[in-house]
Amino acid sequence: MELIDLSREIFHRTQVHPSHPPVVISVWYDHSEKKRAGNTDFTSKALSIAFSDHAGTHVDAPVHFDSRPEAQSIDQMPLEKFYTSAICLDLSHVPLRHAVTVSEMEAALAASGEEIRPGDTVLLYMATNDRLLGKPGYPHEFPGLALESVHWLADKGIGMFGVEAVSPAPEGELNFQAHLACAERGITHMECLANLDKLVGRGRFRFVGFPLKIRGGTASPIRAVAIFE
């Protein structure tokens, strides 16, 4: 069995979407603070971490983009959504800020030699991290899906899709439309994935990416992993 980590590190001032608060990590106490427990000297260390539920590699819950009262929060989503069969499509050739069309999606699917099955997770490698991660353009210049491509994925019966960028569609109006389409079609998406290049051309795999059980959460960081048996 081979496990491939698809998650980015969470660290102090991790790059996040501009609309979300920063990741702030500090030492709460450390081994310099010796404690006395009976006749034993004891030291320990712990961190204080403050971040948005959209920090790092994360999955959006429907309540983030769906205003209906019945929209699920992250703690209400079935765990089966996060343990699925999956494929990865190679869209690394698309330009920055580009909205990927249905014809481009179909070509990438054909090149993969796979099919999209109901309930699949579909990961989309657009070389976003290779080109932008750690640079000022990372929150703004990324490519993503055209609105028609979100509906194309939903028509295939997927459970969710995932991208490397901070949003599923290019910045601006297209991104808002993509989120609303997810609400309309009953799917969701992951953002800020990593190492998708390691999945290209390798066929079908098991995707695992369980969220934290955040009461009322609009999203959650996940430890996303691809498993090749």
Please tell me what DSSP assigns to residue 16. Answer: -
User: How far is it between the farthest Cα atoms of the chain?
Assistant: 71
C-alpha to C-alpha distance for 202 and 59, rounded to whole angstroms: 24
C-alpha 188/C-alpha 186 separation (Å) is 7
Q: Which domain holds residue 103?
A: 58-228
In a domain, 32, yes or no: no
At residue 38, does pLDDT exceed 70?
no
- pLDDT at position 36: 64
Q: Pairing between strand 40-42 and 144-145? A: unpaired
Give the rounded percent of residues in the chain with a pLDDT score beyond 70.
98
Question: Does 26 fall in a domain?
Answer: no
SS3 assignment for 159-219 = CEEECCCCCCCCCCHHHHHHHHHHHHHCCEEEECECCHHHCCCCCCEEEECCECCCCCCCE
CATH number for the domain harbouring residue 69: 3.50.30.50
Report how far residue 82's alpha carbon sits from residue 223's, in angstroms, rounded to the nearest whole number: 10
Residue 105 three-state SS: helix
Domain membership flag for residue 19:
no
Does residue 86 sit in helix, strand or coil? strand
Residue 115, strand partner residues: none
pTM of the model: 0.93
Number of structural domains found in the chain: 1
Model confidence at 39: pLDDT above 70:
no
Q: Is the residue at 136 inside a domain?
A: yes
Q: Tell whether 10 is covered by a domain.
A: no
pLDDT bucket at 42, cuts 50 / 70 / 90: confident
At 44, is the pLDDT very low, low, confident or very high (cuts 50, 70, 90)? confident
Residue 213 forms part of a structural domain: yes
Cβ neighbours of residue 113 closer than 8 Å, sequence gap 6 or more: 203
Per residue in 14-30, pLDDT tens?
888 888 888 999 989 88
pLDDT in tens, 102-128: 999 999 999 999 999 999 999 999 999
